[in-house]
Amino acid sequence: MNPYYDKDSITLYCGDLLDVLPQLTEKIDHVVTDPPYGLSFMGRGWDHAVPGPEYWKIISDACKPGALMMAFGGTRTYHRLTCAIEDAGWDIRDCLMWLYGSGFPKAQDVGKMLDKAAGVIRTEVVREGVKAGTHPDGDVYAKGLNVGFQQRELLAPVTDDAKAWTGYANALKPAYEPIVLAMKAMDGTIAHNALTHGVAGMNIDASRIACDYAAEYGESWLKSGKGKSGPWHGTEYEETRSVADRVSSKGCWPANVLLQHHTDCKQIGTQTSRGDQRGDCNGHRPSGFANVGADSGDSVPNARVYGNEEVPIYECHPDCPVGLLGDKSRFFYCAKASKKERGQGNVHPTVKPFEVMRYLLTLLSTPTGGVILDPFAGSGTTLLAAQALGRRCIGVELNQEYCDIIASRLEAQ
């Protein structure tokens, strides 16, 4: 079995994971992947079904006991993904939510359907714009790239039924994707699994999120007894919970929500961050802070840091989840996947942002790093994030066109 790409710590195989994974000789510590959602997205053949239990069983066989997996899913088919993973023997531990707010509605206009059923053609223009079925970026749009959308042409309804049903559609605008967190059964206790197999839990401290409590007060504030509340107030449990669960000097405990800037958010400049700053995504202060890899001294674009660092300032779209929640939350957030990040010629329609994948890989890391597997490598963002972190990563991708894209992106990194 010859790798399609093999350089430094990154190995990519082009083929069916059912054939590739049984031949691997090294065991996997963590799985981070973006499998098909089973939505036939933009007519793609590879997205015709959610991978069944046989796929997740063979992935499990390649992993160490206690290995953790994060797999993205679609809102309409997440239940099938979760059931397939569970049926393969994995333990479902949580559901993370990746909020992006920049999706476009994939819905049918009921009024238009009624006019179409009546055999009439709309001709009266009530709003100028891009004609239905066309896009100013032409071939780029046809290849499925997220190029954004201009205002569409609006035609007046013709029949009385269509007029009555104008404003009705059969779907909402997508704004999040669920991520299933699952664990392979451990070999005995957590302590035994950690010492025997080198895998146990998530790297919380490396993934803590900078927040007001941590920046302004830190552990000493909570140890003094201030700010405590709840049914365990005044007990030993509350003291432990307050310090370890709510706040540490490294930041707040990471949550199961991740935020991404809206497609139409605009970077309007940069500003040097300070350890006590808090981004509000309103164009006045830096936004998108998170202390990923703070202890190791990593420089993370658009991330919260302790010390001076140039970070972007955004003017946010009204639907941006960062603008809506970022200043009032302790969630990790990052910018969308830009054209530069995607790389030239990257026609994959579902490219995940680099910083989201980097954050997940940081969360899923052992004291020595650990081996990562992405069995549905797609455009290769998981492998790029692993490359940037200096982590060992194995990717498997069935489509040779996408393997070419992955290799190109890795070489350009």
**pLDDT tens track for 81-95:** 999 999 999 999 999
> Which residue has tokens 């894209």?
405
Provide the Cα torsion 404, 407, 412, 413; round to 10°. 140
Confidence check: pLDDT of 203 > 80? yes
Buried b (16+ CB within 10 A) or exposed e, 235-272: eeebbeebbeebbbebbbbbeebbbbbbbbbeeeeebe
Query: What is residue 278's predicted lDDT score, i.e. its pLDDT?
Result: 35
Distance of CA 412 to the CA centre of its chain: 22
Q: How confident is the model at residue 250 (pLDDT cuts 50, 70, 90)?
A: low
Q: What is the CATH number of domain 5-101+177-199+333-412?
A: 3.40.50.150
Query: What is residue 95's predicted lDDT score, i.e. its pLDDT?
Result: 96
Per-residue pLDDT, averaged over 324-351, amounts to 55
Window from 219-228, 250-259, 281-290 with minimum mean pLDDT? 281-290
Phi-psi category of residue 190: left, alpha or beta, with phi > 0 → left and psi -120 to 50 → alpha: alpha
Q: Kindly report the backbone phi and psi dihedral angles of residue 267, in degrees, each rounded to the nearest multiple of 5, phi listed first.
A: -80, 125
- Domain boundaries defined on the chain: 5-101+177-199+333-412, 111-164, 212-246
Give 140-166 pLDDT, tens digit per residue.
333 333 334 456 788 999 999 999 999
What value, to the nearest 5°, has the Cα angle with vertex 24 and ends 26 and 12? 100
Per-residue pLDDT, averaged over 364-391, amounts to 95
Query: What is residue 288's predicted lDDT score, i.e. its pLDDT?
Result: 36
Query: What is residue 96's predicted lDDT score, i.e. its pLDDT?
Result: 95
Query: What is residue 248's predicted lDDT score, i.e. its pLDDT?
Result: 55
Query: What is residue 306's predicted lDDT score, i.e. its pLDDT?
Result: 31
Window from 59-73, 324-338, 380-394 with minimum mean pLDDT? 324-338
Query: What is residue 242's predicted lDDT score, i.e. its pLDDT?
Result: 46
Per-residue pLDDT, averaged over 156-177, amounts to 92
| Residues 6+ away with beta carbon under 8 Å from 235 | none
Buried b (16+ CB within 10 A) or exposed e, 139-164: eebeeebbeeeeeeeebebbbebbee
> Which residue has tokens 């939510």?
97
> Which amino acid is located at 28 in the chain?
I
Give 267-323 pLDDT, tens digit per residue.
777 665 433 333 333 332 333 333 333 333 333 333 333 334 455 677 777 777 666
Q: How confident is the model at residue 67 (pLDDT cuts 50, 70, 90)?
A: very high
Greater model confidence, 343 or 399: 399
Q: What is the mean pLDDT of the chain?
A: 76
Greater model confidence, 10 or 311: 10
Tokens at 198, concatenated = 């080198």
Q: How confident is the model at residue 404 (pLDDT cuts 50, 70, 90)?
A: very high
CA–CA separation, 70 and 373 (whole Å): 11
Query: What is residue 286's predicted lDDT score, i.e. its pLDDT?
Result: 33
CA–CA separation, 406 and 179 (whole Å): 22
Query: What is residue 263's predicted lDDT score, i.e. its pLDDT?
Result: 65
Give 104-148 pLDDT, tens digit per residue.
677 889 999 999 999 999 999 998 887 765 544 443 333 333 334
